[in-house]
Chains A and B, each alone.
Chain A
Amino acid sequence: MKAEESIKLDLMKKFAIAEDKIRVTRARRLFVELAHADFEKVFVYAKDTLKFGHLVSITGFDEADKLAFMYHMAHDNGVVLNLRFSVSKESPVIHSMTKYFPGADIYERELVDLFGAKVEGLAEGNRYPLTDEWPRNEHPLLKDWKPADKKERAA
C-alpha cells in the first residue's frame, strides 16, 4: 500500500475520522478536515508517531463567518499532510504550536496580522508582516478588506 493510503487508514482508525474528511489528492498529498477540538491531538500524533517532523507552513482562510487554518506537515519520504480546522470569526482563538515546533512562531504571527487570529501561547514579540503603525483591527487577507485606494474609489 502506498504511504499516503496507509496514513489515511491509520488516522481514520485512530481518531475515528470519517472517510470523506481525509482526501488523497495525488501521490504524497493528504488533506484532512478536523474539528478544532481534535486538531492538537492529531497534530501531535502526526509529529511524534507518524514522524511528520517538518512544519512547512500554516495557511489561513477567510470563509464567510469562519476562519480556517491549515497546517502543512512534511515527512522525510516526501508525503505532505495538511491538517485543517475552522473556528468562528467572533472568537478566532487557536493554540500556538510553538511548543512542538519553535519555528511555527513566524507563521502564527502572520495569521494574527493578516487574518486577525488570536493565538494563545504565542510569545510576546514583533509583528509580522505588517508595520507597527498598521491598525490592529485591519486584516488584509480577509475577503471584505480592500486596499485604501479601492475603498476611496468605492466611496
Chain B
Amino acid sequence: MHESHKFKIPIGPQHPALKEPESFSVALKGEKILGVEIRLGYNHRGIEKACEERTYIQDIYLAERICGICSHSHSSCFIQCVEELAGLEVPKRGLFIRTLIGELERVHSHFLWLGVAGHEVGFDTLLMYTWRDRELVMDLLAGLTGNRVNYGMNTIGGVRRDVTKEQLRKIKETVDVLEERTMYYIKIATSEPTLINRLSGVGVLSREDTLSLDAVGPTARASGVSRDVRRDDPYAAYAELNFYVITDDHCDVYGRTIVRVKELLESFKIIREIVAKIPEGPIAVKAPRRIPAGEALSRYEAPRGEDMHYVKSNGSDKPERVKVRAPTLANVQAVKHMLKDRYLADLPIVIAAIDPCFSCTDRMVRLDRMDKGQSDVINWKQLHDYSLGWHREHGVDFSSLNERLKKAL
C-alpha cells in the first residue's frame, strides 16, 4: 500500500461513537489501526484539591459525585479510609446495608453495560431489553435511598437509612425476576451466533498484557486474572458472604461479556444472602468531627474494577490529602493494546468493553409556571405514565409484548 494511504484521524473528545469525553488519535492504514494515542483529562474537576478544602462530611458528597454510576463505590471507598483513621467500628447492620446498595449498584451497572455493548454492535433489541430490566433495580434503589444515583446512603460510621422488612421482601422478589431474565441473556450470549462472532477475537488483551498494564475488574477477569477486592481484601460485609469470582479465558470482548453476565448471578446470590442474614441492631455509630492524624488506604470492587482511595489526616476536620484512582484510569491504558492491528469498525465496542463510565440523571422534572409564579413537580410515577401514554398515542405499545415475555419467562 502506498505511504499516502496511512493517515491519522481524531475521534473525540466529542464524537457520536463515544459516550463520554476522551480523545483518540487513531493511526490508520486503510481500515487497519496501526496505533492509538489517548488523551484523557476532559472530566478533570479538581476533586482531590477540593476535598482538602472541605470537611470530611462534605467530602463524602464530593466523592459520591466522582462517578454517576459508581457513586456508592466511591463514597464507600472514601469513607472506609476515614472510619479506619477514626477507629470506628461500623455496626454489622450498617455494613450489610452498605454492601446491599453496592451490589444493587453493580447489577444496574452491568445491565447498563450489556445494553451499551448491544447498541455498539447493532443489537439494539438487547439494549431495549436490558435497560428495561435495569429500571427494576433503579426503582429498588430509588425506594431504598430516595434517589436513582448518588444515593447519599453513606455517612462516617455507617449508613443514613435503615431498610424495612417490606423493602427486603421486594428486593428478593425483584431479584427473582432479574435472575430469570439474566439466565435468558446468558443463553443469548452463549448461543446466538451473530453476537458470538461479532465479539470473539475483538479487543484481545492477553493475560500477560493484563498483568503488566495493571488492568482491573471484569476487563482483567476476562483475561484469566482472578482478582477481586471483595474476596482478596474484603471490606464491608463480604468476609461473611459466599460468592465466586468469575473468570474467563477468552481474553476478548466476548469474554468480558460472559464475565459480566455471570457476575450478575453472583450479585443476586449475594443480595439474597444479605436479605436472609442481615442482623438486627443500629445502622451507624457517632463519628467525631475531627479525625486523628494518620493515613489509610482503602480498596473497593466497583462494577468496573478496583477503586482506590487514600486519605491522610492531620487531626483537623479536613483531610490533608485525598487520592482517588478510579478503575477506568487503570483500564483505559489497555485499550491501546486491544486496538492495535484491529479494524476501525471495532473501535466503539472495544472502548465500550472496558465499560468507561458516564453519568445518568435524575428523572424528576420541575416546571416553573411563569404566569402563576408556582412550581409543579412531576413525580416518577407520573413521568413514567406520561411516557407510556405519549408512546401509545404515537402508535408504540409494548403491553402485549410484555405479556408474552412474562409467559415466556
Which residues of A approach B to under 8 Å, CB–CB?
Answer: 25-26, 28-29, 31, 53-57, 59, 61, 70, 72, 74, 76-78, 80, 82, 101-103, 105-107, 125-131, 140-141, 145, 147
Chain B's closest residue to A107 (CB) is B325
Task: Give bound CA distance, A74 to B227, whole Å.
Answer: 11
Give Cα A70–Cα B299 distance, bound, in whole angstroms: 16
Contact between A28 and B233, CB atoms less than 8 A apart: yes
Question: Is A26 a contact of B214 with CB atoms below 8 Å?
Answer: no
Q: 5 closest A-B pairs (Cβ-Cβ)? A: A129-B41, A78-B233, A103-B214, A57-B325, A129-B44
Q: Which residues of A contact B44 (CB under 8 A)?
A: 129-130
Q: Check if A54 sits within 8 Å of B310, measured CB to CB.
A: no
Q: Does B139 contact A (CB under 8 A)?
A: no
- Cα A59 to Cα B48 with chains together (Å): 11
A129 touches B323 (CB 8 A): no
Contacts of A56 in B (CB 8 A): 214, 299, 306, 308, 325, 330
9 further contact pairs, Cβ within 8 A, besides A25-B84, A130-B41: A26-B84, A54-B227, A57-B310, A59-B310, A61-B312, A74-B299, A102-B212, A103-B333, A129-B40
Q: Which of B165-173, B250-258, B289-297 contacts A (4 or more CB under 8 A)?
A: B289-297
In the bound complex, what is the Cα–Cα distance between A1 and B299 (angstroms)? 24
Contact B84 A54 (CB under 8 A): no
Q: Which residues of A contact B19 (CB under 8 A)?
A: none
Q: Please report the C-alpha to C-alpha distance between residue A101 and residue B212 in the assembled complex, in whole angstroms.
A: 6
B295 touches A31 (CB 8 A): yes
B residues within 8 A CB of A103?
212-215, 330, 333
List of B residues within 8 angstroms of A125 by Cβ: 37
Of the listed residues B214, B294, B310, B330, the one surrounded by the most CB atoms of chain A closer than 10 A to its CB is B214
Q: Are B329 and A102 in contact (CB under 8 A)?
A: no
- On whether the beta carbons of B214 and A80 are closer than 8 Å, the reply is no
Note all chain B residues with C-beta closer than 8 A to A29.
296-297
The minimal Cβ–Cβ distance linking B202 to chain A, given in whole angstroms, is: 22
Cross-chain contact B38 with A126 (CB below 8 angstroms) = yes
A77 and B297 contact, CB distance less than 8 A:
no
Residue from the list A25, A126, A145 in contact with B295, Cβ < 8 A: A25
Q: Does B378 contact A (CB under 8 A)?
A: no
A contact residues around B38 at 8 Å (CB): 126
B41 engages A131 (CB within 8 Å): yes
Given contacts A80-B297, A103-B214, A106-B329, contact A72 B41 (CB under 8 A): no
Measured in the bound complex, the distance between the Cα atoms of B396 and A70 in whole Å is: 57
Instruction: Tell me if A80 and B40 are in contact (CB < 8 A).
Output: no
Closest to B330 in A: A103
Whole-angstrom distance between the Cβ of B247 and the nearest chain A Cβ? 13
What are 7 A-B pairs at a CB distance below 8 A?
A53-B211, A54-B211, A54-B214, A74-B233, A77-B232, A80-B297, A103-B215
In contact, A80 and B321 (Cβ under 8 angstroms): no
Q: Contacts A80-B297, A103-B213, A140-B46 given: A57-B41 contact, CB under 8 Å? A: no
Write out the residue numbers on chain A whose beta carbons fall within 8 Å of the beta carbon of B41: 127-131
Q: How far is the CA of A126 from the CA of B294 in the complex (A)?
A: 35
CA A67 – CA B65 in complex, angstroms? 28
- The answer to whether B49 and A80 touch across the interface, beta carbons within 8 angstroms, is no
From B48, B215, B299, B333, A80 is in contact (CB under 8 Å) with B299
Q: How far is the CA of A53 from the CA of B332 in the complex (A)?
A: 19
- Look across to chain A and name the residue whose beta carbon is closest to the beta carbon of B85: A25
How close is B315's CB to chain A, nearest CB, in angstroms? 16
